[in-house]
Amino acid sequence: MNDPAATSPRSGHDPTQMRLQGIDGRVAMITGARGGIGRRVVETLDALGARTVGCDLAGDAIPGSLAIDMDVTDIDSVDSAFRRTEAELGPVELLVTCAGVFREVPLDQLPTEEWHRTLDVNLTGTFLCVRRALDGMRAARAGRIITLSSGAGLDGGAEACSHYAASKGGVIAFTKGVANEYAMYGITANIVTPRAIRTSMIAGMEDALTELIPIGRLGEPDDVAAAVAFLCSSHASFTTGEVHVLNGGWW
């Protein structure tokens, strides 16, 4: 018998209705908060009681307790965002890095500047935010770090995205290293790797991608937000260094 939820064009669930412990009252910073996934993560954690800080370029358009204009590739901008958060809400206890860029370009046509830009935002931006968050987390001997990678970081992706795959594969390896290095301080670090999520990044490819997904639908930002919320919660206290794949059974 077919599962209606599996064949529905939408995920059919609202992660804000989850009963999760360990999120209420926590200071949660989310980068890339203007994007489809980042915005939904902000809304979900906010609804679960976190004091959310949404960070992105043009931060005034972001929901949450606090919205900050931040460039993840600029060390001074990152530090300024953390200092403002600490002054107004307290140290960051939950960090979710959603900031990312992607543009299809065949490798033999890829400008060097595009390579650097992709790694600067996707990988170096993750590094700068995680490193800064560790200051408060180490002092508290607690913290949750969730980085957003991509299925491309595991299998190289489709055509014309070698640069993107490299940056996202780096995010996975980096986060695993953080998990190993800082577990002794009560800090967990995990990776969520979405694929074929209904956002502007896959505009125009929805039908073709759906045909590749055994579960019969695209992923939704809610699916990603639910996974992130679980990893932020106390229910995931024994989970670190793990890659959580969200692809509807693609592979």
Q: At what angle do helices 75-88 and 125-140 cross, to 10 degrees?
A: 30
In which element (H, E) is residue 68 found?
Answer: strand 66-69
**Which residues have CB under 8 Å from 23's CB, separation 6+?**
45, 48, 49, 50, 94, 229, 232, 233
Question: Would you state the pLDDT for residue 3?
Answer: 40
- SS3 category, 203: coil
Q: Model-level pTM?
A: 0.92
pLDDT tens figures, 111-121: 999 999 999 99
Q: Is 182 a residue of the active site?
A: no
pLDDT of residue 8: 41
Which pLDDT belongs to residue 95?
A: 98
**Cα distance between residue 140 and residue 136, in whole Å:** 6
* pLDDT at site 104: 87
- Asked if residue 147 lies in contact with residue 193, where contact means CB atoms within 8 angstroms, the answer is no
The architecture in CATH of the region 21-246 reads 3-Layer(aba) Sandwich (3.40)
Q: Determine the residue type at 221.
A: P
Please name every residue paired with 67 in a beta bridge, in sequence order, or none if there are none: 54
| pLDDT at residue 12, as a whole number | 56
Q: Choose the catalytic residue: 102, 127, 164, 174.
A: 164
Residues of the chain with pLDDT under 50: 1-9
